[in-house]
């Protein structure tokens, strides 16, 4: 049954995990699951975001997955091109090395690494100009939700990037709504609350881009096989950004299946 005409995305955010041997086993297990129970590309776009030094190895391993599983960078530099910027990796270098997707605005980057709207906008502009697709994360804290500010905070974060995204570049943006209080906590937004926020995000997007109806809006925050089916049934939830559960091949595969089954 088709919940939405937007092809869902299921992307694993491995964060600062796992060690190399475990990463290789995770990829190998996931490939075996895809062989045994294939998920059609047109039913679900798949990606995984490993640590930066594992990007190319992950990409090479995923070439034999039997279908596209995109390798996603977890971060990029706010500085473009090449030059004397020790420790940085620019959008152009990611693209040059064949990495076409990148996360921007994850709450851990916003909070722990003090990435504000100006820094995030520089990263988004660089990524889009280099031809990358950006998975842009937004989400409110528990305090903001309890103060009744969740919608305003999230819509502001969405609007923040309008200054740097050119009209046609909205096609290369995927939004990930990740309430901070649900990340890594085991607490998930109820499907109703998540759907309500996703619908509001889409309404907000309609004010700034003509692509709002075709943009994927992913949900993130303690997504697991147990709640994926209900979340996937919501019309404005077009996939999931998955942290903890993406470190288990079976869980990640089941979540992907839940979203693919809506198509």
Catalytic residue among 106, 108, 140, 198: 106
**Closer of 239 and 244 to ligand PEP (Cβ):** 244
**Closer of 90 and 259 to ligand PEP (Cβ):** 259
CA 126, chain centre distance (Å):
18
Establish if 138 lies at the interface with ligand PEP (CB under 6 A): no
Contact letters for ligand PEP, residues 174-203 (x by CB under 6 A): ----x----xx-------------------
Q: Which of 4, 12, 13, 227 binds ligand PEP (CB under 6 A)?
A: 13
Biggest CA pair distance of the chain: 53
Establish if 241 lies at the interface with ligand PEP (CB under 6 A): yes
Least distance in angstroms from the C-beta of 246 to ligand PEP: 7
**Closer of 26 and 183 to ligand PEP (Cβ):** 183
Q: Alpha-carbon torsion 113, 50, 125, 142, what sign?
A: negative
Q: What residue has token string 């290369």? A: 172
Residue 70 region, left (φ>0) first, then alpha (ψ -120 to 50), else beta?
beta
Catalytic residue list contains 198: no
Least distance in angstroms from the C-beta of 49 to ligand PEP: 9
Question: In the Cβ-directed half-sphere of 12, how many Cα atoms lie within 13 Å?
Answer: 31
Coil, strand or helix at 135: strand
Q: Give the Cα separation of 239 and 9 in Å (integer).
A: 5
Catalytic residue among 115, 178, 198, 253: 178
91 near 102, Cβ under 8 Å?
A: yes
Q: Enumerate residues 213-232 that contact ligand PEP by CB under 6 A.
A: 220-223
Q: Known catalytic residues?
A: 106, 178
């Amino acid at each position: 049954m088709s919940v939405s005409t937007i092809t869902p995305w299921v992307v694993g955010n491995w964060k600062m995990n796992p060690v190399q041997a475990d990463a290789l086993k995770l990829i190998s297990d996931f490939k075996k699951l895809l062989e045994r129970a294939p998920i059609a590309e047109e039913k679900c776009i798949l990606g995984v975001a490993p640590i930066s030094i594992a990007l190319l190895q992950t990409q090479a391993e995923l070439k034999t997955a039997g279908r596209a599983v995109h390798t996603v960078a977890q971060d990029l530099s706010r500085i473009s091109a090449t030059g004397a910027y020790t420790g940085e990796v620019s959008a152009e270098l990611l693209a040059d090395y064949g990495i076409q997707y990148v996360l921007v605005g994850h709450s851990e980057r916003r909070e722990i690494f003090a990435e504000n709207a100006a820094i995030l906008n520089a990263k988004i502009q660089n990524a889009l100009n280099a031809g990358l697709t950006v998975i842009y994360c937004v989400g409110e804290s528990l305090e903001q939700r309890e103060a009744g500010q969740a919608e305003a905070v999230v819509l502001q974060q969405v609007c923040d990037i309008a200054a740097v995204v050119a009209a046609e570049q909205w096609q290369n943006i995927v939004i990930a709504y990740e309430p901070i209080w649900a990340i890594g906590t085991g607490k998930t937004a109820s499907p109703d609350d998540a759907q309500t926020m996703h619908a509001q995000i889409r309404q907000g997007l309609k004010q700034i881009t003509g692509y709002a109806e075709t943009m994927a809006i992913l949900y993130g925050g303690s997504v697991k096989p147990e709640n994926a089916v209900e979340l996937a049934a919501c019309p404005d939830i077009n996939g999931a950004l998955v942290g903890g559960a993406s470190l288990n091949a079976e869980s990640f595969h089941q979540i992907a299946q839940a979203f693919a089954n809506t198509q």
